[in-house]
Structure 1
């Protein structure tokens, strides 16, 4: 690991031209050990982190009181013990504020803070808003047209937020796993988190100041090969754990297990195919799983099921499973990575994500519910178009016109498309209902590589297993369900994550070459080494941010790692194949920290209650906990000693 250097160790001395007063201030102060973040520097994308700008020795007398960081409001500027450091005791300052301001403009942020300790005049200038605005744009290399965060109160505090409140200090390394750690998930309360690993265990941890292991569930007795994903339900009473079955190398079968967090008992198991559907909670007691049915060589059907977490029912008339959707897959694609977004949380205040990106071309988003992009005015009904198109295709094959133009796989795809036109149930068009949810998953239409995001609305009446299990609301000819929206990413999707308010979808993607054409569905285009982090607004179905790019991956299409990302109120974090985790600011689109491991970083997760705590999981079989410099200082601050009277009183009571 690289440790940030210690660039300042001497004394800042200021000498008067007239008179004999030579005040000085030591920084760091005598006997104080400065903090050095255990964080790799990323010169290409991340600003350097030279040292503890807001450490104990740099607390200014005029700064606002902060209940957790220990900042103080005092009336005098104190230097070394027994000495007041002032340059304006004699009256009028020798240097005008404008000249001090110009000098401070040429200094770095640490030097400005240190110089602000010299006297009251310098301290006042060192807090100037225009000064810190320049420091902010210069230090973080933010484009000048990007405004300040809407919630920020000053440029000084905003600089401090990005420097002092980013979880980049390694505070603990967990080594209880014996193989690659693949996924991490936090409970909604933030009190616990779970980890999944190639050692085929699901471990549950207590999130205290010192993290401790609570329970380890070994899934090998259930014929699992490894565990890969976990998720807590809304009230943190149940844990969903997803794994891969032990079997042939090309096996795609998996299983979902539901574990009670009160007794750690295994409540139910649900088949899940393919295994990278992962599964997710829809309500507190129901979860979504997948199944795959082959129709042809490269054509299949994905069925998404709603399962009751408690399957010990009292009556045979009570459903424990219900089919949600049945979706056609073309060109060897399948549905993977399902997740649910809650539309009722969209109105929560969030960041100004589209700042600083004027004129950005929107990502192609197809609203399939109102017709595709090729639809013209007054089209014929879908069943009629499908039958006519299929008849023309068959006539062409019999006449020998189409045979030379289409390969066997292309012909299969064309026939499947035409058949589906007359056997697909259109999306249900309902008025805006805050109770509805969005089912989000990766899919495709050109190749097996996941390059599209499918979105399907789940209405309130569909969120229960009550009622008929099969054929609900589906006529004899309606076999498939149509998607409401499809987002084409034009690259291999390797990770997705939702913002805390569920409105914004963040996507890790490795782009295809510009202008690439997929001629064979089994041979997708080569993918880039750089990972693009894309942002989509699920309320408007538009891309709202230019791509973040800093993390890298090296594996080809058929060996591509799934990199889990996570989003907090202000930050977004992701793993990478370059043995680092990355943290960006959501508003300014800048990389703030690069966190080092010894192997691929598979998963990152913020505490939902404290975004200054981040966990990272790696192929090096470790989990690392990272905290912000501010919280590290708070936790390491010495506790006040009890007064002699209370110590005596407590001893007398014993």
Structure 2
């Protein structure tokens, strides 16, 4: 069909007409006649429309592997899971976390109602199991993760204990392991602080944490490898094994531990990267290590005399710190150190004599595993990312029984790398290939100085979603923005993000979840709730299925427009299968 007079219009006029239309109208206009159809598929037209509609910086090239800008517009419009299709209301309190099994057939949810629920992800989603952890003295469930073969589920919970360093509640927690065959409780593992969360190292072993107080602002974090099945087959076999012992300064501690596994990790990192520094030597724990101390929750606070009593060199160095003689007697005397400052100085000097040198990097042709976690050195809010390689002998609890390496365990481990984030870290997530680390952070004011570890700088309301290449340890791209948070430092909580092949999503305190395209960095969708959105999760086998969970007690299920047009495609992989390349 031809429209009278349409052939008389030059293409430039048709371009202007089409540019004044919206994307949907433009597609419809292409059905008017063959001439209009040809112009409506013009790649220059769709390129302009793409950059304008998605507000993408023009220096960003087209997605690798795509054939046209029209195809790219269709991909972003059709495949992002932005249409709400279900709302699950079975929880009776704030929902804090959701996670998928690797097969995508199951998902788990954790809530302040102290339950963990298992769902079948078929459309519509149905509840399969629910376990209430209240009778285990938990206050709430906060995190879950399926093991690699989807036979076990790790669930992390909180039971309220004391206050660490006086700045905010630092509750002890516990990790429970459930069998997905019958949903039976297999084991329970102590976890302190609770926001270590815990994670799987492999299909049978999980990582937990413990915290030992050494003083008011100094502590020791110990990371443990635990067997999921806690049976004791022999007195010479372990169900738990110490991985690392790391000293914490200025009221900070290790939190939010995850495992990265990729052959490219740190392959081009060198000694330093942009925004990355080698960690300083880590001070040693002074209190005696023993199984009894682990069960009691760590050593008691120690005095100045306890910290230096056995080492004359350290004692002399500390005396120098106290006296602080100035080379130039005309200079004004330095102000006296506060208790916290003195304690930090003690720990820093003690570290020089009680820290093991880092092991030589392991060179192998296969994958290398690294622990990635939040930490800090200036104040109690997490503002650094620590990286520590796991060596082959640390992948299993087999080996000498606990206590045989006591002398070695008197020393602290140093970190391999530290990434400095100038702000409060409130979430992290790995890309599916573990190449890229995405970090939610709330920035500190520029050029701020921290003089008191108990008084961190104010944090921005705008959340920055930053991207780091774990091959080079460099930050790549501009931070992704759109989401916001309002709680101050001492009330700040984790907002879980997730990364799929093409997209990254995050919750926020402004009652919405958000989806961005990883390549173009543009925000594709806003996913509304009635309260804070705590977590998001992509289905690992189909990125066009997304879950969001909120303080409004609900879990929402989001699917793409393409999936709704083709219901038989709901659980099939997306047709856009090109690998992401930053």
TM-score range, shorter chain: 0.7 to 0.9
2:556 is matched with 624
Separation (CA, whole Å) in 2 of partners of 1:370 and 1:297: 20
Q: What is the DSSP-based 3-state SS (H/G/I as helix, E as strand, rest coil) of the residue aligned with 1:546?
A: coil
Cα offsets for 1:452-480 (capped at 9, x unmatched): 10000012221010112447878659610
Separation (CA, whole Å) in 1 of partners of 2:369 and 2:405: 19
Cα separation, partners in 2 of 1:166 and 1:476, compared to 1, 3 Å: closer
Separation (CA, whole Å) in 1 of partners of 2:540 and 2:347: 44
Cα separation, partners in 2 of 1:505 and 1:251, compared to 1, 3 Å: closer
Cα separation, partners in 2 of 1:420 and 1:472, compared to 1, 3 Å: farther
Separation (CA, whole Å) in 1 of partners of 2:338 and 2:264: 47
Post-superposition offset of 1:98:
4.7
Cα separation, partners in 2 of 1:130 and 1:395, compared to 1, 3 Å: closer
Asked if 1:510 is matched to 2:442, the reply is yes
TM-score by length of 1: 0.76
Post-superposition offset of 1:409:
0.9
Asked if 1:199 is matched to 2:113, the reply is yes
User: Aligned ranges for residues 134-283 of structure 1 at < 5 Å?
Assistant: 134-247=48-161, 250=169, 252-283=171-202
Post-superposition offset of 1:300:
0.7
Post-superposition offset of 1:435:
3.3
1:46 is matched with none
2:360 is matched with 429
Cα separation, partners in 2 of 1:99 and 1:228, compared to 1, 3 Å: same
Separation (CA, whole Å) in 1 of partners of 2:251 and 2:401: 28
Q: Do the aligned residues in 2 keep the contact of 1:422 with 1:477 (CA within 8 Å)?
A: no
1:382 is matched with none
Post-superposition offset of 1:551:
0.5
**RMSD between superposed Cα atoms in Å:** 2.5
1:78 is matched with none
Structure 2 unaligned residues grouped into runs of 5+ = 164-168, 268-272, 283-310, 327-332, 570-582
Asked if 1:596 is matched to 2:528, the reply is yes
Post-superposition offset of 1:562:
1.2
Larger Rg: 1
Structure 1 unaligned residues grouped into runs of 5+ = 1-84, 349-361, 372-385, 638-654
Q: Do the aligned residues in 1 keep the contact of 2:515 with 2:524 (CA within 8 Å)?
A: yes
Cα offsets for 1:60-89 (capped at 9, x unmatched): xxxxxxxxxxxxxxxxxxxxxxxxx4348x
Q: Do the aligned residues in 2 keep the contact of 1:369 with 1:426 (CA within 8 Å)?
A: no
Post-superposition offset of 1:263:
1.4
TM-score by length of 2: 0.86
Q: What is the DSSP-based 3-state SS (H/G/I as helix, E as strand, rest coil) of the residue aligned with 1:415?
A: helix
Work out the number of aligned pairs and report it: 525
2:206 is matched with 287
Q: Do the aligned residues in 2 keep the contact of 1:454 with 1:483 (CA within 8 Å)?
A: yes
Which protein, 1 or 2, shows the higher relative CO under an 8 Å CA cutoff with sep ≥ 6?
A: 2
Separation (CA, whole Å) in 2 of partners of 1:347 and 1:155: 34
Separation (CA, whole Å) in 1 of partners of 2:435 and 2:401: 31
Deviates more, 1:336-345 or 1:162-171: 336-345
Cα separation, partners in 2 of 1:629 and 1:150, compared to 1, 3 Å: same
2:387 is matched with 455
1:107 is matched with 21
Post-superposition offset of 1:323:
0.2
Cα offsets for 1:431-469 (capped at 9, x unmatched): 433332010111100111111100000122210101124
Q: What is the DSSP-based 3-state SS (H/G/I as helix, E as strand, rest coil) of the residue aligned with 1:132?
A: helix
Cα separation, partners in 2 of 1:457 and 1:387, compared to 1, 3 Å: farther
Separation (CA, whole Å) in 2 of partners of 1:387 and 1:454: 31
1:86 is matched with 2
1:408 is matched with 339
